[in-house]
Structure 1
Amino acid sequence: GEAHCLEVATGAMVWERKLADEFEIWSMGCRASPLIDGERLILFVGAKPGATVMALDKRTGQTLWQAMDDKISNSSPMLIESADGRRHLIVWSTDAVFSLEPETGHLEWRQAMTTSNNDCVATPVRVGKRLLIGGLMMEDRGGTEMPAILWPKEWNAPMKRLLSNTSTALVGETVLYSPRMKGELVCLDTATGEEKWKADGLTESKTGASLHLTATGEGKAFLFSDEGVLIRARLSPEGYEELSRAKVIEPTSPFGGKMMAWTPPAYANGHGFFRNDREVVCVSLRAGP
């Protein structure tokens, strides 16, 4: 529940806020990534009363606005722009997905999204006028009106989420690629949600499974599994083609009687960076001689 601003050059403290001294904050909260929007530092902290989301002045740490009483999740908020040019802050809590005006925190719309497994980790994905939140595909109608629900057609909360609650999908104009919670990788039509194909065997996990997908161009992608395995594959609407795989790090997080590697990797300059509870591993992703 603490927010700190440090000087980049020296690490000296510029300001700090001990939000747990000001609000009621769950001890395991504050796991979403902070978001910078101009002069605003937007935090998804799940604080009560009335501060699920907060905007601070990034230079002073003073509160600019606070909003909502929803429960915290692990999903990081994102900014999108609708067809009419309006900007929206999209937040996925354990209770709902909602849109706030980023300048004021004013609630624009809210869709209940309580499901049978409320561990929301995946980040919402925007492509064109469409917005995917977990297993809910919505389409922008402009202004502050709530987006239309494209699929699933029968949307009632609570219900089982269609896709993964831990892994963010790769979404294109016509198809998307996403893990499901039992570890399968599926290709779905973005307009209808119809399944085009399913690939098994990417991970042996059946609960808590995760596959972090990163597009690398030319229809190829890296998939990092909860078993600490990096897979290189070609993805297309026609099917899944595995090109290679290698164990890059040991899973160390206990869950369901086995160890998991849940932390998403980072990629830069031809290298992959992987972390568990004990170490950080850097591997070269460049082709050998």
Structure 2
Amino acid sequence: MRLLSILALLSLTAAANDWPRFLGPTRDGVSTETNLLRAFPDDGPPVVWEKELEVGFGGCAVVGDEVYVVDRVRDESDLLLCLDAATGKEKWRFEHEAEGEPPFPGSRSVPTVEDDAVYFINAFGSVFRIDRESHKATWSVKLDERYDGATPKWGWAQPALVEGDVLIVPPFGEKIGIVGLDKKTGEEIWKSGPIGDSHSSPTVMEFGGEKHVVIVSVTDKDGKEGLVTSYRPTDGEILWQTDLYFNRIPIPVVTKVDDKRIFATGGYDCGSMMLGIEKTDKGYELSKLWSAKKGSQVHPTILADDHLYFLANENSNYKVKSKRATGGLTCWTLDGKELWNTGNEPFMGRGGMIHADGMLIIQDGENGVLRLVDPSPEGFRLLAEANVFGSDLNKRFDLKYWTPPALSNGRLYLRGQEKLICVDLRAK
């Protein structure tokens, strides 16, 4: 009995360290892993392996000893690759004929991995369920054909969201905005009315003792009209909807602050907003608590020790040095006061960020430099940095290393445009 208990505990520990979906196990970019490096050797942290990929932005999911990443051969095929977590060598792949090439060529999205299947969406709205044993598609759905879906400007980049037995995906059609499918069969369970379009992803959070699927969308870019909508995941009923926050090209997911607040952010000079949520006898009421002109164009805000951290870097400030001084990593109080920002020193572009072991783990979006930062309201505290991709740091350009990182069992998975690397962050 004692041996069985130990084995069960080890199994739970391994599962807790998986990164099975976009933004990790809790869908917020936060990891419970500990015992990570807080300083690097002079030659940087160990790079365990490198894997050459096609050009793209697709991020990783990690479950057990397997790494899943979406790749794409330009104008030829979409790929789901399964790699060995220890070596980076390919174990198997699923391949599907390409349906064209989106602007900013290459893969998008992050796979969603469960015990028996992997789900992903390609840039043209084809949704796949891939059996982990047979490595074949058990079903697929084209959102534009079944739901008259409209391809977002840069293609579908949303991960397939699984909640219970329901797979939630966004057609963004004129009549149907979001749908819930049976994850085993692909058959429709529910569908919502139109909500415009979006590059943001639906995400699950809990308010008022119930699950909410929340997504930011834009209904009229010229008229500055947008929505933040919450659906019940089991039947698609709208729990609440507000037009208080607008972004003309929504990309980051919203961040839950607590049971009564969410923080919405984005780029394109549309800024950020703290929204209040109150459950009443008549339902949920939303209110604007405060707003800010700064926002994060690609990745969501991280909540750490009752402060908000994001990279305030977007199209309007990344090319001009004087404007770059307004960006970089920034720290805000929950009542809307900016405490500090790094500006151009360092700027860090539109990179991704994870909160783990009391640190912010940040991949520089312009050159791939890895930084460990102590999140402190008192100022920017750099713990360590390393040029893990070997980029030429003397050149000023944006390599578009915008892929969200993944962390599993002390190993960090970072993607450049044409390379995936595994970095060992385990403290010895």
- TM-score, L = length of structure 1: 0.83
Is 1:147 the equivalent of 2:279?
no
Identity of aligned residues (%): 24
Aligned amino acid, residue 36 of structure 1: V
- How far has the Cα of 1:189 moved from its partner? 1.0
Q: CA deviation at 1:131?
A: 0.9
1:152-199 deviation per Cα after TM superposition (whole angstroms, max 9, x unaligned): 2xxxxxxx8532121211114632112212442211111x11112222
Alpha-carbon shift at residue 92 of structure 1 (Å): 1.0
Q: Give the strand-richer structure, 1 or 2.
A: 1
Distance 1:258 1:225, change over 3 A: closer
Structure-to-structure mapping, 1:176-255, within 5 angstroms:
176-181=308-313, 182=317, 183-190=327-334, 192-204=335-347, 209-218=349-358, 220-226=359-365, 227-249=367-389
Retained in 2: the 8 A contact 1:131–1:138?
A: yes
- Once structures 1 and 2 are overlaid, which stretch shifts more, 223-232 or 9-18? 9-18
- Once residues 87 and 25 of structure 1 are traced to their aligned partners in structure 2, the CA distance between those partners, rounded to angstroms, is 27
Are 1:107 and 2:238 matched, yes or no?
Answer: yes
- The DSSP-based 3-state class of the residue aligned with 1:52 is coil
Partner SS state of residue 144, structure 2: helix
Equivalent residue number for residue 44 of structure 1: 170
Deviation at 1:41, TM superposition (A): 0.4
Change (3 A) 1:246 1:203: same
Inter-partner Cα distance in structure 1 for 2:241 and 2:345: 35
Q: Where does residue 155 of structure 1 map in the other structure?
A: none
Of 132, 149, 154 in structure 2, the residue corresponding to residue 8 of structure 1 is 132
Aligned with 1:21: secondary structure? helix
Q: Secondary structure at the match of 2:352?
A: strand
- The 2-side partners of 1:136 and 1:176 are apart by 12
Given the two structures, how large is their TM-score scaled by the length of structure 2? 0.58
1:132 to 221, 238, 263: 263
Distance, in Å, in 2 between the alignment partners of 1:250 and 1:262 is 17
Letter in 2 for 1:198: N
* C-alpha spacing 1:204/1:136, structure 2 compared with 1 (3 Å): closer
Q: How many residues align?
A: 268
3-state DSSP of counterpart to 1:141 = strand
Q: Is the 8 A contact 2:242 2:286 kept in 1?
A: no
CA distance in 2, matches of 1:279, 1:265: 13
Alignment match, 2:229? 98
Which residue pairs with 1:156 in the alignment?
Answer: none
Shift of 1:231: 0.6
- Are residues 257 and 239 of structure 1, via their aligned partners in 2, closer, same or farther at CA, if it must alter by over 3 Å? closer
Does residue 155 of structure 2 align to residue 64 of structure 1? Answer: no
Contact 2:140 2:186 in 1 (8 A): yes
Among candidates 261, 274, 277, match of residue 414 of structure 2: 274
Cα deviation per residue 1:80-120 (whole Å; 9 max; x = unaligned)? 2213x1322111113321112222222233222333xx332
Q: Which amino acid aligns with 2:278?
A: R
Alignment check: 8 A CA contact 1:78 1:91 kept:
yes
Q: Output the CA distance in 2 between the equivalents of 1:173 and 1:151.
A: 20
Deviation at 1:261, TM superposition (A): 1.0
1:242 CA drift (Å): 0.8
> Residue 82 of structure 1 corresponds to which residue in structure 2?
207
Q: In 1, are the aligned partners of 2:311 and 2:328 still within 8 Å (CA)?
A: yes
CA contact (8 A) 1:29 1:45 kept: no
Distance 1:277 1:259, change over 3 A: closer
Q: Is the 8 A contact 1:45 1:53 kept in 2?
A: yes
| Higher RCO, 1 vs 2 (CA within 8 Å, ≥6 residues apart) | 2
Cα distance in 2 between the residues matched to 1:188 and 1:99? 25
Gaps of 5+ in 1: 153-159
Cα 1:258/1:198, change in 2 over 3 Å = closer
Assess, with a 3 A threshold, how the Cα gap between structure 1 residues 119 and 247 changes in structure 2: closer, same or farther: farther
Confirm or deny: 8 A CA contact 1:250 1:261 kept in the other structure. Answer: no
User: Is it true that 1:32 corresponds to 2:32 in the alignment?
Assistant: no
CA distance in 1, matches of 2:344, 2:382: 11
**Does structure 2 conserve the Cα–Cα contact (< 8 Å) formed by 1:249 and 1:274?**
no
